[in-house]
Chain A
Amino acid sequence: MQLHYFLLLAAALFCIGIYGLITSRNAVRVLMSIELLLNAVNLNLMAFSNFLDSTLIKGQVFTVFVITVAAAEAAVGLAIVLAIYRNRDTVDMEQFNLLKW
């Protein structure tokens, strides 16, 4: 087991998240892709903490914070989606293009 396998896995997960973030038409799937991104970050933090800082494990502390904030962010995100849904009766991201040129 080596550090860079973890990093590559995290990067792959990040890329999948990006792909989902950019291409999803459903707003909830966009939030889910964001969760993938955060989890990819968490994987990185955990890997670094394990391989480079195994005594003080500051990465794990960071991860705990990231999970916490991610939960809060998802809550707010879902609330926003719900608010938009109430007004526009849809969660299609392509319908939310009112603020253009």
Chain B
Amino acid sequence: MAQFLLETVWLVPCYALIGGLLAVPWSPGLISKTGPRPAGYVNLIMTFLAFVHAATALQATWNHPPQEVFIPWLSTAGLNLTITLEISSVSVGAIAVVTGLNLLAQIYAIGYMEMDWGWGRFYSLLGLFEAGLCALALCNNLFFSYVILEVLTLGTYLLVGLWFSQPLVVTGARDAFLTKRVGDLFLLMGVLALWPLAGTWNYTELAEWATTAKVDPTAITLVGLALIAGPMGKCAQFPLHLWLDEAMEGPVPSTILRNSVVVASGAWVLIKLQPVLSLSPIISSAMVAIGAVTAIGASLIAIAQIDLKRCQSYSVSAYMGLVFIAVGTQQDEAALLLVLSNAIAAALLVMSIGGIIWNSITQDVTQLGGLWKRRPMSGLAFIVGTLGLIGFPPLGGFWALMELADGLWETHLWLVGVVITVNTLTAVSLTREFALVFGGKAKQMSERSPEVHWPMVLPMMILLGFTLHLPLVLQSLSLLPSWATLNKDVALLLIWSTLFGCSVTGVIYLGNVPKPIRLPWKGLQDLLAYDFYTPKLYRITIIFGVAQLSKLVDMIDRFVVDGIVNMVGLFSLLGGEGLKYSTTGQTQFYAFTVLLGVGILGGFLTWQYWGNVFLNLIF
């Protein structure tokens, strides 16, 4: 039975897709009598089915060699496009995580979207995302990974734009689509340029090719830079990070998925491409540089935000930056572990704050406070999510950061500093959020804030339990290093940085320091609060350039190209209008033109008899 389920694990994305399609009929325009709720239930059932299938298959695949499934897609002259699926413990594990988190997010959404009519659209898009992410996890082919990434980009556009009557949602969805699209298009360039070099898009074959490849270093550097541009946009790395901030305009349940899994889709492709990317040291340095800058920049920005959801989104950018560092320094396992621990912890954090937002209405942390007594469950979830994200033993984030820092210890000591800094800053930002939301005195907006109802608490608690059990799961799968080989220095540094960040922030925000806290230099605070003025940067560089170029091209089209064609018509018109005056109505003029014509023709025909004599006479 388990073996059968393993062999048919490619059905998991299909369940999700079917679930998404089944939700469509409950759009208000089609079935309005029953209300939109069946869409959610149907989707939930399909997701549950997918999760059970994936989890059973995961058991069967453990300690088994990876298998490949080939599905022919298209065969033309010189090109065979075959969908290659890899069924390994990693990929099946990934789809188990994706379907599991989706299941929880969908239960959560049943609570969160209670007062909403748009379930049909919402759940069908969640189904699309689940299907896309599962297909991406299984897909072992760069080309089809790209296809799925593009579908997911479209999905992001639609999902962020769910409540499209809000102007900020429309601009957010636009930016999310265009920014990710730019990255994806660079990725397409890389994908296409990789074909003549490697002759394959299969990740396994690419890895084999990369071990013995002899290619022009410039060429492979350019290809590699294009290949990391796609994940750069997907993972919201600098400078393509603004979309994640604006995507926080979407509904919270979709944010759960976005923060935990969707941004990780870029990282997944990046990890799969790591053998190719390690061909050139420049690509690796670029990845490390992008990752380091994003990790530090985004975690600094997260500290200076007042919007609860945006604090979270920048932490996600920062952790994806750490994944970039991990891939740039060829540490696939650390990267995967980071993605896993971040997915679970970030989802838990977003669930917790989503519950706060749901019945405190405001997202502004400066208007919240004193919720710990009334909202212990959400508070606990937030604490566990925080500890699971930052380096706090024995939870998952610690082991991920530990493995990453340990791998960097011998070769790139300064990057260990980056990891420690990011850990400290994230600890600071999350503790600040916790202190502002749950600590202190209750404010007007949080004066009467009851705990949310069961469909939102249940998934939160399940995920909380899973976050706590993650180390045990990892240990039972023998993914954790033993204490004997542990790099004690790194571990101590991580723990100290965590304790330092949490305690200092706790003292500042829970103590008697006057709030709101102002940095001595206001410019710096504003710089971080407005995320380095990225919208302005976009507007004065790329958007300005493209807009001016578009205007110029439009003018050229309007005046030059259209003008030339219109000029032909105009000249014909003017010619007719002007030449009609040759018909004067004077019979004598007609006689004159007839005689002139005859004279000229006669002169022309008889030129040979008298022409030369005539010319000699004149000259």
Contacts and interface: CB of A to CB of B under 8 A. Distances in A.
Interface of A: 18, 21-24, 30, 93-94, 96-101
B603 to A, nearest CB: 15
B586 interface: yes
A38 to B, nearest CB: 15
A6 B587 CA distance: 31
A100 B587 contact: no
A18 B592 CA distance: 9
A18 B587 contact: no
Interface stretch (B153-161, B287-295, B298-306, B577-585): B577-585
A94 B586 contact: yes
A100 B585 contact: yes
A18 B197 CA distance: 87
B190 to A, nearest CB: 67
Q: In this complex, which of B581, B585, B588 has the most chain A Cβ atoms within 10 angstroms of its Cβ? A: B588
Contacts of A18: 595
B542 interface: no
Interface of B: 580-581, 583-588, 591-592, 595
B530 to A, nearest CB: 71
Contacts of B583: 100-101
B588 A21 contact: yes
Nearest to A97: B585
B586 A93 contact: yes
B114 to A, nearest CB: 79
Given A18-B595, A101-B580, A93 B588 contact: yes
A97 B567 CA distance: 33
A101 B581 CA distance: 6
Contact of B592 (A22, A93, A100): A22
B587 A93 contact: yes
Contacts of A24: 588
B576 to A, nearest CB: 10
Nearest to A98: B585
A100 B588 contact: no
A95 to B, nearest CB: 10
B582 to A, nearest CB: 8
Given A22-B588, A24-B588, A101-B585, 6 more contacts: A93-B586, A93-B587, A94-B586, A96-B585, A97-B586, A98-B585
A98 B585 CA distance: 6
A5 to B, nearest CB: 19
B593 to A, nearest CB: 10
A77 to B, nearest CB: 12
Contacts of B592: 22
A24 B592 CA distance: 12
Contacts of B585: 96-101
Contact of A96 (B581, B587, B591): B587
Nearest to A94: B586
Q: Top 10 closest A-B pairs, CB basis?
A: A100-B585, A97-B585, A101-B580, A101-B583, A22-B592, A99-B585, A22-B588, A97-B586, A100-B583, A100-B584
A96 B586 CA distance: 7
Contacts of A23: 588
Contacts of A30: 588
A14 to B, nearest CB: 11
Q: In this complex, which of A22, A30, A98 has the most chain B Cβ atoms within 10 angstroms of its Cβ? A: A22
Nearest to A27: B587
A21 B588 CA distance: 7
A27 B198 CA distance: 95
A23 to B, nearest CB: 8
A22 B592 CA distance: 6
A93 B586 CA distance: 8
Contacts of B584: 97, 100
Nearest to B581: A101
A30 B580 CA distance: 26
9 contacts: A22-B588, A22-B595, A93-B587, A93-B588, A97-B584, A98-B585, A99-B585, A101-B581, A101-B585
A48 B93 CA distance: 118
Nearest to B599: A18
Contacts of A93: 586-588
A22 B584 CA distance: 14
A21 B592 CA distance: 9
A22 B590 CA distance: 9
Contacts of B595: 18, 22
A22 B591 contact: yes
A24 B588 CA distance: 9
B580 to A, nearest CB: 4
A100 B587 CA distance: 10
Nearest to B583: A101
Nearest to B582: A101
Contacts of A101: 580-581, 583, 585
Contacts of B581: 101
A18 B591 CA distance: 9
A41 B201 CA distance: 95
Contacts of B580: 101
Nearest to B588: A22
A41 to B, nearest CB: 15
A83 B198 CA distance: 97
A21 B587 CA distance: 10
A93 B588 CA distance: 8
A39 B583 CA distance: 30
Contacts of B586: 93-94, 96-97
B311 to A, nearest CB: 80
A91 to B, nearest CB: 13
A7 to B, nearest CB: 15
A59 to B, nearest CB: 22
B587 to A, nearest CB: 7
A23 B585 CA distance: 15
